[in-house]
Amino acid sequence: MIGGDAANDTLAPPRPSSASAQVETLAKGADIIVHSAIHPIMGPDRGSGFPAYAYYRQSTASDLGAMAKRVGAKHLVLTHLVPPPGAPAQGISKVPGGPLTETSYKAAREGGFSGNVVVPTDLASVRLPSK
């Protein structure tokens, strides 16, 4: 199952999750979820200056982890990362606390997901185990 930007159903708080209920329905029974992700550190309440309208169009790594757990996925591949690992800023918005690493995106675990979290670099090939 592949999901992406602007996938959430409610573009402003309060909302139960930044991940879309529609995407979750499609993901039921999938072994692998590939989805774009924003790190919660870029939230408007975190001092990044990242525009709220853009932040709320994205799904956070932690909410995607929670969704992957709910649907029983084995693998969660996070793509189109905002901010990219190693970047001090996303456009004109600074990353609070400095650049993130690939390990920072393991925030998907905060959602309770215990499966395989893959945070590939740009143009990476990902080989997953066969059944």
Distance (Å, whole) CA 79 – CA 119: 7
DSSP 8-state symbol, 54? H
Q: Output the pTM of the full model.
A: 0.87
- What span, in angstroms and rounded, lies between the C-alpha atoms of 43 and 56? 8
pLDDT of 115 strictly over 70: yes
How many of the other CB atoms lie within 10 Å of CB of 26? 16
Task: List, edge to edge, every strand of the sheet that includes 32-38.
Answer: 2-3, 32-38, 75-82, 116-118
DSSP class of residue 73 equals -
Asked whether the predicted pLDDT for residue 84 surpasses 90, the reply is yes
The whole-number pLDDT of residue 43 equals 92
pLDDT at 131 over 70: no
Please report the beta strands in 23-129, taking only residues with DSSP state E, as ranges in sequence order: 32-38, 75-82, 89-90, 93-94, 116-118
- Taking the C-alpha atoms of residue 53 and residue 92, their distance in angstroms, rounded to an integer, is 15
User: Smallest Cα–Cα separation from 42: which of 84, 102, 103, 8?
Assistant: 84
pLDDT per residue as tens digits for the range 35-59: 999 999 999 999 999 999 889 888 9
Phi/psi of residue 85, nearest 5 degrees: -55, 135
pLDDT of residue 77: 93
Rounded Cα gap, residues 19 and 3, in angstroms = 9
